[in-house]
Structure 1
């Protein structure tokens, strides 16, 4: 490979590497942004799962704490009911006075503001004893569920009723059956837990506006709820999928929508086997509040980073484009004749080498015109160098106006001499082009003071053993022949045969 071919190869490799560099920069920027996005996305997902897990654990602890408090009080109250039921069987009670009877039955009870009086009803439902007063008023509760359930089911155990009005306020009745020595039904001992107990318990907790606490009986009846909702108290909630799920497992959680407000929450319960089941809930908005704030900040940082990377990438791409454009301009200047605007000798040599190789591969003709300004030295001496330059520019314009095919190459060969490479043209076709150029120059010269050109034409179908220098030499010989024949004419040189055609 000659020097010109090597230079073209180097240029192509440089351009290829520039394109690869630009692509690599864009790819690197995309990978960087996507990588940071993936990492941030993974971190955000972990943070989201962490927020859910933390909320679930917090609600589990809250539910367990409330559950322990409520059921501990129920157990203590149940122990008092058992004690009263057992003491009622003492034979000594038949012979003691009412004050002593009351002392034996109720003196061990620990008074509490949220616990109602313990009352004893006989087998007919009549009130016989009351821990609050010595002589209770007449009262019959045989129609109440707490009495009927013990009368009809001997082995029911502790009964906790739904919420009801008792002594002028909402309460929950807690009762036990009184069995005789032979297991016969002798009545019911009952007490009550006031709603004030639950309200005081909930007030001690730091709850958000959308937090919810519900206490349900084993049959699904809503005993109490915070926030308090009058229309739901005492309502059976077994129709809701969440409550059904709650009684299917001992503990767990589910996602659901509030029956009253429609707020989406996480619901958690600790032990659904207890007499009263505690269900606590927190809205998803509150659970994800901190996560959303952190996600927003991370998103902003990621957006700023992506914008910065994009800006830097665009900046460097523009710099690469500017540099490439500047290099193209420099390259264009390096291959362009500054006076005429035609291709210079360096570019011409590279072009003819390329087209010569292509003609060999494709077995096609290649033609060359060698053009020389007639009497240029005399014209230059007569009118001056500036006029001589203008004449060369005019000839270049006539050549460029005629040679317009994509593969053609018009060049300033040196001094007042021009070369035109015409790939694919035979000698006759190339002669026609040469004649057109000569005629245009002559027509222009009639205005500019008698400027003409002589043209040497050569065309051949090259073989592998030939060199393009042979074509240049043949065209150059034809040019000298045109000069010798009187100038202002075209002469064709046929390779391999010394034939001059005027």
Structure 2
């Protein structure tokens, strides 16, 4: 490959790389934004999972704490009930004064604001003794749930009844069976825990408006809840899927919807084997509140980053385009003759090299015209350099007006000499174009002082053993032949021979 062909190849490679640079910048920007989006998405997913895990752990700790408090008080109260039930079996109790018997029975009774009096019922349900009153009023509880449960099941142990009003206060009744040495049913020892205990316990906790705490018995009965909802107290909640899950496993969590308010919550319990099971819940909105705020800020930061990257990408693509345009302009200036506006010798050599290779591949003809202004030196000496330049411009206009195909290349070869590349034209067709140029120059010269041109024409179908220089030299020899034959004419050169055309 010659020097001009190598330069043209390098220029094409540079242009290709510039186009690739713009595409690569867009791809890089997209990858950058997508990469940051993926990282931020992964971080947000981890943060969401962490928020959920933290909420579950917090609710578990809360459930354990409430469980422990309720269980401890139940054990204390149960201990008092067992003590009273045991003392009732003492034989000497029947022989002492009733006041002393009362002191013996209730000397270890728990005195607390929310713990009700311990009462003793005989086998018929009649109230016989009351820790709060020396002479209790007559009362029969044989039809009460706690009495029937203890009477019918000797193995029941501590029984926690449904919430009910007792002495004007909503309370939970706890009871134990009194059995003789032979297992006979002798009565029931019962006490109560008022709802005030649970409400005071819940008030000590810092709960959000949508937080919920429920205390349930093993049969699914809702004993109490926070916030307090009187219409649900004492209802059996076993019909809800969440409560069913709670008694299938000792501890765990589930996602559910509030029965009354429809709020979506996370529900957690710590130990479903306790007499009373504590179920705590927090709304998903509260769980994800901080995560959402962080997600919004991360989203804003990502949007700002994407906007910045897009702006920088657009700016640099614009700069690449402007640079490419400037370089194309410089290349045009470097390959354009400043006087005539035609391409220069360098551009012509590159064009003929490319078209020669194409014609060689396609086995098609290629033609070259060599054009020279007749008697240019004499004209220049007579009329001056400025007039000589105007004459060259006029010839260039005639050539450009004739040669208009995209593949054609008209150039100023040097001085007063011009060259025209005509790919795909045979010798007769190229000669016709040459004759058109000659006539146009001749017609224009009638006004401008008798300017004419001589044209050498050469056309061939390239062979592997040939070079495009041979074609140019053939056209150049034809040009000299036209000069020798009297100028203002076209001559076709073929196989080193010349043929007069006009």
TM range (shorter): over 0.9
CA distance in 1, matches of 2:399, 2:230: 102
- Matched position secondary structure for 2:262: coil
Contact 2:269 2:280 in 1 (8 A): yes
In the alignment, structure 1 residue 198 sits paired with structure 2 residue 198: yes
Deviation at 1:422, TM superposition (A): 0.7
- Matched position secondary structure for 1:255: strand
CA distance in 2, matches of 1:391, 1:162: 120
Q: Give 1:445's aligned residue.
A: 445
For residues 224-280 of structure 1, what are the alpha-carbon distances to aligned partners after superposition, in whole Å with 9 as ceiling and x for unaligned?
A: 110111211111111111111001000001111111111111111011111100000
Contact 2:77 2:110 in 1 (8 A): no
CA distance in 2, matches of 1:180, 1:171: 29
Q: Give 1:119's aligned residue.
A: 119
CA distance in 1, matches of 2:451, 2:273: 117
Q: Give 2:45's aligned residue.
A: 45
- Matched position secondary structure for 2:247: helix
Contact 2:456 2:482 in 1 (8 A): yes
CA distance in 2, matches of 1:161, 1:216: 11
Contact 1:493 1:501 in 2 (8 A): no
Q: Give me the TM-score of the superposition, normalised by structure 2.
A: 0.96
For residues 126-180 of structure 1, what are the alpha-carbon distances to aligned partners after superposition, in whole Å with 9 as ceiling and x for unaligned?
A: 1111111011111111111111111112211111112111111110010111112
For residues 319-352 of structure 1, what are the alpha-carbon distances to aligned partners after superposition, in whole Å with 9 as ceiling and x for unaligned?
A: 2222222111111111111111111001111111
Q: Give 1:172's aligned residue.
A: 172
CA distance in 2, matches of 1:32, 1:314: 15
Contact 1:266 1:281 in 2 (8 A): yes
Contact 1:376 1:416 in 2 (8 A): yes
Q: Give 1:468's aligned residue.
A: 468
Contact 1:250 1:270 in 2 (8 A): yes
For residues 160-217 of structure 1, what are the alpha-carbon distances to aligned partners after superposition, in whole Å with 9 as ceiling and x for unaligned?
A: 1121111111100101111122111111111100000000000111111111100001
Flag structure 2 segments of 5+ consecutive residues without an equivalent: none
- Matched position secondary structure for 2:443: helix
CA distance in 2, matches of 1:448, 1:224: 116
CA distance in 2, matches of 1:221, 1:233: 8
Q: Give 1:27's aligned residue.
A: 27
For residues 58-92 of structure 1, what are the alpha-carbon distances to aligned partners after superposition, in whole Å with 9 as ceiling and x for unaligned?
A: 11110000001001111111111111111111112
Contact 1:460 1:495 in 2 (8 A): no
CA distance in 1, matches of 2:77, 2:482: 133
Task: Map 1:62-77; keep pairs closer than 5 Å.
Answer: 62-77=62-77
Task: Map 1:8-23; keep pairs closer than 5 Å.
Answer: 8-23=8-23
CA distance in 1, matches of 2:446, 2:63: 110
Contact 1:493 1:500 in 2 (8 A): no
Q: Give 1:237's aligned residue.
A: 237
CA distance in 2, matches of 1:197, 1:494: 121
CA distance in 2, matches of 1:444, 1:97: 153
- Matched position secondary structure for 2:220: coil
CA distance in 1, matches of 2:443, 2:212: 102
Q: Give 1:185's aligned residue.
A: 185
Higher mean Cα deviation, 481-490 or 259-268?
A: 481-490
Deviation at 1:401, TM superposition (A): 2.1
CA distance in 2, matches of 1:271, 1:254: 14
Deviation at 1:458, TM superposition (A): 1.2
Contact 1:458 1:495 in 2 (8 A): no
Higher mean Cα deviation, 63-72 or 294-303?
A: 294-303
Distance change in 2, residues 1:496/1:373 (3 Å): closer
Task: Map 1:334-373; keep pairs closer than 5 Å.
Answer: 334-373=334-373
CA distance in 2, matches of 1:427, 1:274: 110
For residues 345-384 of structure 1, what are the alpha-carbon distances to aligned partners after superposition, in whole Å with 9 as ceiling and x for unaligned?
A: 0111111122223323332221111122233334434443
| Aligned residues: CA RMSD | 1.7
Contact 1:212 1:281 in 2 (8 A): yes
CA distance in 1, matches of 2:246, 2:369: 99
Q: Give me the TM-score of the superposition, normalised by structure 1.
A: 0.96
CA distance in 2, matches of 1:381, 1:235: 123
In the alignment, structure 1 residue 387 sits paired with structure 2 residue 382: no
CA distance in 2, matches of 1:499, 1:116: 136
Contact 2:481 2:498 in 1 (8 A): no
Contact 1:458 1:471 in 2 (8 A): yes
Contact 2:458 2:478 in 1 (8 A): yes
Task: Map 1:100-111; keep pairs closer than 5 Å.
Answer: 100-111=100-111
Contact 2:489 2:501 in 1 (8 A): no
Higher mean Cα deviation, 18-27 or 218-227?
A: 18-27
Deviation at 1:412, TM superposition (A): 0.8
Q: Give 2:139's aligned residue.
A: 139
